[in-house]
Amino acid sequence: MKKYIQVVAMLLTIQCINAQSTIDEDVNTTIIRLIILNDNGDILLKKATVGWLTIDTAFKKRQTINEVIDSLSIKYGISISQPNLKGVFTHKYAFKNTTYIRQLYVARSTTNELPTNKNVEFIWAPKEEAIEKLSGTLPAIGEMVNQIIAYPDVVWGGSFLVDRKNGKITSKMTEDFYPISAPSTYREASYDPAVVQTLQKYMDGSSYNKREMLLSAFADNATLYLTNRDGDFKRYSPSAYADFFKNDEKGTFNGRVAKILDITITKDIATAKVEIAGPNRAWVYIDLFLLKKFKNEWKISSKTATRVDETPKNAVLFVVSNAHYYANSDIPTGNSFSEIVNAYDVFKKANYTIDFVSPKGGAVPLAYINTSDEMSKKYLYDPQFMNALKNTKSPSEIDASKYKAIQYIGGGAAMFGVPDNKEIQTIAMDIYEKYNGILSSVCHGTAGIVNLKTKDGKYVVDGKSVSGYPDDYENKDAPYFKTFPFLIKKTIEERGGDFKFSERGKFTLEVDGRLVTGQNFQSSKPVSLKVIELIAAMKK
């Protein structure tokens, strides 16, 4: 079944902690709950033995969100888009030694139809009715869903204690709701949520070619003042503007990434600014709205926009892998999220454009995600960043002349698909040789450079000082290790390189001409800083 996935944590590999075989033992289980909305904002509910619930699944082994969506699609016959992480909650049970981690995602139905599974009763319920039904099943569920729907631009956290009294399941909040996402996002959503909801209809309708949803954000007599492609300043009706999106497939993401910049409310009128960015920020517009409250419902009465010209930037290309598992095993792996975000943050602060390439393009798996780490949390809930990881470029889409540097990201996945990819090898050597750029790698990402050859047929590591994750620190008795197609240190030394590394847990940075390599994830930031330093020096 075809699904169009755009997700803030869409690639998040979810791992249950210390899962046990029976519910009566110590169990920490992850539950994903989907709040599915139709174009009217109604919530999909299913009838269960205990009462009405949203669709959910529990599991004791790691799964990606895409795998969860696939399994639910097969089980219930649902088709959805935009599963965005909106809540991470802990449920501790007083009557058994069990803890559940509940992750709540908000998704959109692509059909607005009830699921096709005839063995389960489903209904579309308006928000107030849905909250009431969910609270009747378990108050905590109603409270979580109500908070998420009221403030849709925030990712929420919180904790509940679930108990059993007189045969009835009860719950109480033990930790108040708190925003996990950036304070600026929370500030936006702290305004009247009805204004945010109207803007969300505009943003979702225009980004996913949903004409009816887009029109529902506007007053019938609204006026749009826009500059067309010929440079003429023209006036449009909402219907004429919505026609711009009529030829694209409904529910398909068209590359427009929108975020609210500001909302100002004065009684029953409001102004709002929304940034609209094209794929890879090839173009950026600021939309300015005037809204009016009609019968307790906010509508856009006027809109205009201006294009923002961005200064050309230096660009770096990050190489990531599509491998979800170690070779042909069932052992999950992924690209190191820590290495990605620490490097990304350095380049972003230096005003670089950062693109991602993978052998197959599209979504890539992530590993080593630590939500207690502020840097990881910052980017995990950054929709534009996560969308870039869902939509990595394929090698055929890359123009090597654009980039000042190429950086190979580590993680177990880096051992597979990347080192032997001829197209990526060509891109890397074009950047390095043809365009005099920087070649860099971190940790297992160094596996990506072992096969690279210069124009004269020599391995690029020949005669170079190189670092990466050393074979000495691998667990050679572990099943994952037996899947490795080669060993990094051994191969580099066989090909004339001088492999260097330090104690476990300490970073090593090796710079040899325009080759910059690092030992482990701690080296990600130093490698990136050195790359920027070398590029700046080359311009002098």
Pair (90, 238) in one structural domain: no
Q: Which of the residue ranges 168-172, 248-252, 358-362, 432-436 would you say has the lowest mean pLDDT?
A: 248-252
Cα(276)–Cα(233) distance, integer angstroms: 19
Q: Which of the residue ranges 243-252, 283-292, 510-519 would you say has the lowest mean pLDDT?
A: 243-252
Q: Domain containing 288 — which CATH number?
A: 3.10.450.50
Within a domain: 7: no
Candidate ranges 22-31, 121-130, 245-254, 275-284; pick with highest mean pLDDT: 121-130
Q: Domain containing 377 — which CATH number?
A: 3.40.50.880
The band of 91, judged by pLDDT with boundaries at 50, 70 and 90, is: confident
Q: Which of the residue ranges 17-21, 226-230, 283-287 would you say has the lowest mean pLDDT?
A: 17-21
- Structural domains in the chain (count): 3
Cα(537)–Cα(540) distance, integer angstroms: 5
Q: Which of the residue ranges 41-45, 230-234, 304-308, 511-515 would you say has the lowest mean pLDDT?
A: 230-234
The band of 43, judged by pLDDT with boundaries at 50, 70 and 90, is: very high
Strand 156-165 versus strand 297-307 pairing type: unpaired
What's the pTM value of the predicted model, to 2 decimals?
0.51
- Which of 153, 183, 213 is the endpoint of a domain? 183
Pair (196, 323) in one structural domain: no
Say yes or no to pLDDT of 133 above 60: yes
Pair (371, 338) in one structural domain: yes
Pair (358, 454) in one structural domain: yes
What does the pLDDT read at residue 10? 31
Pair (261, 339) in one structural domain: no
Pair (394, 440) in one structural domain: yes
Q: Which of the residue ranges 79-83, 394-398, 422-426 would you say has the lowest mean pLDDT?
A: 79-83
The band of 165, judged by pLDDT with boundaries at 50, 70 and 90, is: confident
Q: Which two tokens stand for residue 490?
A: 């051994």
Mean of pLDDT values over 325-344: 92
What is the percentage of the chain residues whose pLDDT exceeds 90? Answer: 46
- Which of 134, 156, 183 is the endpoint of a domain? 183
The DSSP letter of residue 444 is: G
Cite the beta strand spans of 311-392 per DSSP E. Answer: 315-319, 335-336, 353-357, 366-367
Within a domain: 3: no
Say yes or no to pLDDT of 29 above 60: no
Specify the higher pLDDT residue, 278 or 188. 278
Say yes or no to pLDDT of 416 above 50: yes
Pair (321, 462) in one structural domain: yes
pLDDT in tens, 455-495: 999 999 999 999 999 999 999 999 999 999 999 999 999 99
What does the pLDDT read at residue 400? 93
Pair (137, 202) in one structural domain: no
Cite the beta strand spans of 151-268 per DSSP E. Answer: 156-165, 168-179, 218-227, 233-236, 257-266
Query: What own/partner pairs with CB < 8 Å and gap ≥ 24 does 449-452 have?
Result: 449/408, 449/515, 449/517, 450/419, 450/486, 450/488, 450/491, 450/492, 450/495, 451/419, 451/420, 451/425, 452/425, 452/428
Candidate ranges 251-260, 336-345, 355-364; pick with highest mean pLDDT: 336-345
Say yes or no to pLDDT of 196 above 70: yes
Pair (275, 338) in one structural domain: no
Domain range for residue 97? 13-183
Pair (196, 157) in one structural domain: no
Say yes or no to pLDDT of 381 above 70: yes
Task: Write phi, then psi, for 151 (nearest 5 degrees).
Answer: -130, 80
Cα(74)–Cα(67) distance, integer angstroms: 11
In 3D, which of 19, 189, 16 has the Cα closest to residue 106? Answer: 189
